[in-house]
């Protein structure tokens, strides 16, 4: 399993996908170049995804700027160094603030290797991440893809991604999560490249960017 680190890795994965599933050739022609959009693995990358989840991009960006102002580009240790008053001033919900502190403590105590997750099989990596309170499947999948560079993750719970799959493959309706998981199984071990392909296709065909925000 090759961890995605550059545009060349994306190109190799896309070529393999087009050979595996010729239906993707036309979709790739419409989508155009696939962006790498890769951030560094580690606490800051996962914290940013947690902050960005379920709020508007503008609100998430404002909160993240406050986090950086308070803790620098946050590490587990720098976030733990913030007192309760500082954390309260960041604008985080109570649940997200607790998740970030629990994650920081777990990383600081060497109970979670955020850098090493991309080298694990997808199911094992997802199991380890989602075992953390406050980290759901979508958050874990996005971290593995866009920070870890994991090559074989497909966030089937993402609504825009499911819409793009339905539109691109000519389905009558947007497929549900189980249906997309079954479809995406054919794209192993390059499902992360397939997800980038369908997000790019969605952006072109809908005129709206829907790929998750990354730093």
Same domain, 25 and 47: no
What whole-number distance in Å separates Cα of residue 108 and Cα of residue 99?
14
Question: At which residue do the structure tokens 């239906």 appear?
Answer: 23
How many structural domains is the chain composed of? 2
Tens digit of each residue's pLDDT (9 = 90 or more) over 71-124: 999 999 999 999 999 999 999 999 999 999 999 999 999 999 998 887 888 889
121-123-129 Cα angle (round to 5):
100
CATH code: domain of residue 67: 1.10.340.30
pLDDT tier at 213, thresholds 50, 70, 90: low
Same domain, 201 and 167: yes
Residue 124 inside a domain? The answer is no
Note the pLDDT of residue 122: 86
119 phi/psi in degrees, rounded to 5? -90, 0
Same domain, 159 and 178: yes
CATH code: domain of residue 168: 1.10.1670.40
Same domain, 53 and 78: yes
Query: For residue 110, what are the domain limits?
Result: 43-114
Print the SS3 string covering 91-159: CCCHHHHHHHHHHHHHHHCCCCCCCCHHHCCHHHHHHHHHCCCCCCHHHHHHHHHHCCCCCCCCCCCCH
6 phi/psi in degrees, rounded to 5? -155, 175
Residue 137 inside a domain? The answer is no
Note the pLDDT of residue 1: 59
Same domain, 25 and 78: no
pTM of the shown model: 0.91
Section 6-30 average pLDDT:
96
Query: End of a domain among 63, 91, 114?
Result: 114
Q: Which residue, among 5, 141, 152, 120, has the nearest Cα to 112 in the 3D structure?
A: 120
pLDDT tier at 170, thresholds 50, 70, 90: very high
In this structure, the number of other CB atoms found within 10 A of the CB of residue 33 comes to: 11
Query: End of a domain among 64, 94, 114?
Result: 114
Same domain, 26 and 78: no
Q: How far is CA 183 from CA 68, 143, 162, in A?
A: 40, 22, 11
Instruction: Answer for the pair 188, 9: CB distance below 8 angstroms, yes or no.
Output: no
Instruction: Answer for the pair 135, 97: CB distance below 8 angstroms, yes or no.
Output: no
Query: End of a domain among 114, 139, 173?
Result: 114
Same domain, 71 and 47: yes
The answer to whether residue 195 scores a pLDDT higher than 80 is yes
Look up residue 29 and give its two tokens. 């022609």
Look up residue 127 and give its two tokens. 């199991």
Note the pLDDT of residue 214: 66
Residue 24 inside a domain? The answer is yes
Q: Which residues contact 32 (CB under 8 A, 6 or more apart)?
A: 200, 204
Note the pLDDT of residue 155: 95
Residue 170 inside a domain? The answer is yes
Residue 189 inside a domain? The answer is yes
The answer to whether residue 70 scores a pLDDT higher than 80 is yes
């Amino acid at each position: 399993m090759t961890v995605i680190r550059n545009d060349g890795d994306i190109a190799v994965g896309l070529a393999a996908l087009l050979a595996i599933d010729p239906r993707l050739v036309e979709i790739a022609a419409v989508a155009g170049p696939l962006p790498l959009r890769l951030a560094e693995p580690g606490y800051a990358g996962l914290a940013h995804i947690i902050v960005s989840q379920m709020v508007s991009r503008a609100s998430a960006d404002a909160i993240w700027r406050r986090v950086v102002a308070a803790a620098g580009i946050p590490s587990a240790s720098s976030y733990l160094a913030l007192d309760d008053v500082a954390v309260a001033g960041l604008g985080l919900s109570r649940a997200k603030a607790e998740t970030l502190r629990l994650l920081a403590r777990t990383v600081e105590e060497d109970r979670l290797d955020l850098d090493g997750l991309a080298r694990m099989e997808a199911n094992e990596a997802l199991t380890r991440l989602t075992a953390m309170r406050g980290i759901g499947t979508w958050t874990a999948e996005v971290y593995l893809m866009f920070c870890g560079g994991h090559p074989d993750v497909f966030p089937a719970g993402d609504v825009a991604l499911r819409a793009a799959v339905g539109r691109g493959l000519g389905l009558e309706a947007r497929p549900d999560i189980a249906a997309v998981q079954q479809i995406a199984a054919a794209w192993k071990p390059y499902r992360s490249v397939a997800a980038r392909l369908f997000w790019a296709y969605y952006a072109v065909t809908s005129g709206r960017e829907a790929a998750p925000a990354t730093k």
